[in-house]
Structure 1
Amino acid sequence: MGRLHARLYEISGGRFLPRWFAGAPVMVLETVGRRSGTKRATPVLYLRDGDAFVVLAANAGADRTPAWWLNLRDAQAGEIVVGCSRIRVRPRLLDGAERNRLWHAFVEMYPQAEHYQRFTDRVLPLIALEPAQR
């Protein structure tokens, strides 16, 4: 999924590409480039956990961490577009028992995630995007 998909998702209010091939829900994550300062929009799969939106920085199992996660991690802020809703969020890298629980839930939703983990030596970051306090 790329920039065109992100733009079509936003224009259509989430009606275009609301779910990925395996039925996993899709949203658009907006970040600011940590070097360029340019606004970036990336479609990502997500899992709901209470108020949080859980995303996986898989990069399809590549050894390189996706730029959207590096941008989000450094800025500690971003926005998501879910359907017609735009929400400011703060990232929280999951670890321990919470990561384990949500990893299994993510894999249940999108089994390909487990294959991505096998493709790389890095531990795929699992991130909770939590609504930012105003």
Structure 2
Amino acid sequence: MTQKQQAGKRRPGTPGAFSRWMQHTMNARMNRKVRRGQGSFMGMDVLVLHTVGSRSGQPRETPLAWFADGTDSWLVVASGGGSRHPDWHDNLMAQPGRAAVELPGRDAVPVAPHRLDGADRAQAWQRIAAAQPRIAKYQSKSDREYPVVRLTKR
């Protein structure tokens, strides 16, 4: 393989230009649906997570499936395609004081993220897996444990 061919080759697990464009397009479409009050996808409730890029400092908006966790608290799963934590998770943990969620048809609400561990994560995961068995199946195909993050209204 020539140097030019190697330079154009991407690392396994990293998206190519088309898939990155497609992801941005689909995220923008889902964000519009949530803002119009139609916040569900494939039987899952969806919110828009507002974060700030950990390196760029730019605002980011990511549609995510969420699961109820009492009043004014939501659970989200950082699956990231199975191979690594998604960018939104890194951004959220790097600048937790700048996070907010937007629920269908509502304005953004500031939230405080807390990554669950141990028994708290196990309890939350059981509720998530019971509500959406496909997420448990998805987790079973990965070598890493997906982070579960509780977002609590500030």
Could you state the TM-score of these two structures normalised by the residue count of structure 2? 0.76
Q: What do you get for the CA RMSD once the two structures are aligned?
A: 1.6
Which position in structure 1 is the counterpart of 2:4?
A: none
Which position in structure 1 is the counterpart of 2:89?
A: 69
Whose strand proportion is higher, 1 or 2? Answer: 1
Separation in 2 of the partners of 1:74 and 1:106?
Answer: 25
Separation in 2 of the partners of 1:116 and 1:53?
Answer: 20
Separation in 2 of the partners of 1:93 and 1:53?
Answer: 12
Report matched runs for 1:1-134 at 5 Å.
2-12=26-36, 14-15=37-38, 18-21=39-42, 23-50=43-70, 51-61=72-82, 63-77=83-97, 78-83=99-104, 84-132=106-154
Give identity over the alignment, percent. Answer: 31
Q: Deviations over 1:44-101 (max 9, x none)?
A: 000111121000001232x121000000001013011002132101110111222111
Query: Which one has the largest radius of gyration?
Result: 2
Deviating above 4 A after TM superposition, structure 1's stretches of 4 or more consecutive aligned residues are none
Aligned residues: 127
Larger relative contact order (CA 8 Å, sep ≥ 6): 1
Whose helix proportion is higher, 1 or 2? Answer: 2
Runs of 5+ consecutive residues of structure 1 not aligned to the other structure:
none
What's the secondary structure of 2:143's corresponding residue? coil
| Aligned residues of 2:34 and 2:47 also touching (Cα < 8 A) | no
